[in-house]
Amino acid sequence: MSKLILAIESSCDETACAISKDGREILADIVYSQADMHALYGGVVPEIASRKHIEKVSLVAEQACRQAGVALSQLDAAAATCAPGLIGALLVGANFAKAAALALDIPFVPVHHIRGHVAANYVAFPSLEPPMTALVASGGHTVILDVSDYTRMEVLATTRDDAAGEAFDKIARMMGLPYPGGASLDRLSQTGDPARYPLPRAGIRDSLDFSFSGLKTAAVNLIHNAGQKKQEIVAADLAAAVSHAVADTVAPRVIEAARLRGRKRVAAAGGVAANSTLRAALQRECEKAGLELYLPPLKLCGDNGSMIACQAYYELLAGHVGRPDQNCFATMPASEQLCFFDNEA
Ligand code: KG4
Ligand code: ZN
């Protein structure tokens, strides 16, 4: 029997809803982006995000059902991102999905946002299956996961300070680029010379962990110093230098993680996986190491409902069903189970 799952994603500034059929077939994908509103403040304002989610959540769900041609009575489960993310924002989506599950007498499936990002690859590549090494690089996270199964993963590396996306966004803001900065910086970097501004590639001894705060400080100092000396910064060159510094740090660690666990497949996801320099570096390094690389299309890299609807299917198959008192969590490693109990043997 095929399974239809309606899933809500509201962990940050996108109110998204998707409907999946047996996980990978996406029947509807609706996103309401709040980016324009947060652009006024140069970053996401959590309270505004929560309020906008409340305004839009039923609307995106209704639109998704209409797009899919699915009646509420046909749904087999309702799912929502429950961690990690902005707590007020998460609670809106989770409470909506819990209420829908209760009203329709169907299971509620809590989904981990990072696991959802990994699942964007299952949507994009129908024959991809774990085990594999996964990189999730976004505004809030930079992690390398050993994915042994759809709902079993181990964190092999994480950032000790800022996420890669956070570094991109802060540097872009200092450069006066429009919010959200990562994508603008990427576009600008296309014509830049990465060698003009030498930037650090931070490493941590005996660890695959990342650190991006030094890169951020170095770029910000460079901009300040130039300002004090009334010198012009060549924006395209700085953008290229930053992109290369991130790619040079991330790509080799992903390859090393795959080698350590003997994995043959590498999948990337998260908003930063849209970065053209990082994509090229992963392609180059994976080819050299003889690894299969999976890079989802750009629209599946950033936050979306499809990835949550897909992961929800695998969580449901594993018996990871939430109770009505399921809570949300601002932080939680992707290796942990979200629900209070599970029905696994
Ligand atoms: O996955 P995502 O949409 O949301 C989070 O879960 O955080 O990632 C958003 C992040 C932002 O920091 C954004 O600037 C960055 O992804 N980003 C990029 C690019 N597109 C989005 N960073 C670098 N290059 C890009 N092309
Ligand atoms: Zn995300």
* Domain ranges for the chain: 4-119+303-317, 131-295
Please give the mean pLDDT across all residues of the chain: 95
Choice from 33, 81, 90, 168 to test ligand 1 binding pocket (greatest atom count within 8 A of CB): 168
Residue 174, pLDDT score: 94
Q: Is the pLDDT of residue 342 over 70?
A: no
| Ligand number, closest to the Cα atom of 139 | 1
Ligand 1 center from residue 296 Cα (angstroms): 14
- What DSSP character marks residue 160? S
Residue 15, pLDDT score: 97
Q: Is the pLDDT of residue 343 over 60?
A: no
Percent of the chain past pLDDT 70, that is, above it, reads 98
CB-count burial class (<10 Å; 0-12, 13-18, 19+) for 221? exposed
Ligand 1 center from residue 298 Cα (angstroms): 10
Per-residue pLDDT reduced to its tens digit, 49-106: 999 999 999 999 999 999 999 999 999 999 999 999 999 999 999 999 999 999 999 9
Ligand 2 center from residue 170 Cα (angstroms): 17
Distances in Å between the alpha carbon of 22 and those of 1, 29, 231? 9, 15, 57
Ligand 2 center from residue 247 Cα (angstroms): 19
Residue 179, pLDDT score: 82
One-character DSSP codes across 205-262? TT---B--HHHHHHHHHHHHHHHHTTPPP-HHHHHHHHHHHHHHHHHHHHHHHHHHHT
Choice from 272, 276, 311, 331 to test ligand 1 binding pocket (greatest atom count within 8 A of CB): 272
Ligand 2 center from residue 301 Cα (angstroms): 8
Q: Which residue in 246, 234, 257, 304 sits closest to 280, CA to CA?
A: 246
212 lines ligand 1 (CB under 6 A): no
N-term to C-term CA, the chain: 22
Give the Cα separation of 231 and 216 in Å (integer): 20
134 lines ligand 1 (CB under 6 A): no
Q: Do domains 4-119+303-317 and 131-295 have the same CATH topology?
A: yes
Per-residue pLDDT reduced to its tens digit, 255-285: 999 999 999 999 999 999 999 999 999 999 9
Per-residue pLDDT reduced to its tens digit, 322-341: 999 999 999 999 999 998 65
272 lines ligand 1 (CB under 6 A): yes
CATH superfamily of the domain spanning 131-295:
ATPase, nucleotide binding domain (3.30.420.40)
Give the Cα separation of 256 and 96 in Å (integer): 41
Distances in Å between the alpha carbon of 336 and those of 66, 178, 295? 34, 36, 25
Give the Cα separation of 31 and 303 in Å (integer): 9
Q: What global pTM score does this model have? A: 0.95
In ligand 1, the atom with minimum distance to the C-alpha of 113 is 6
Indicate the CATH number for domain 4-119+303-317. 3.30.420.40
Per-residue pLDDT reduced to its tens digit, 247-259: 999 999 999 999 9
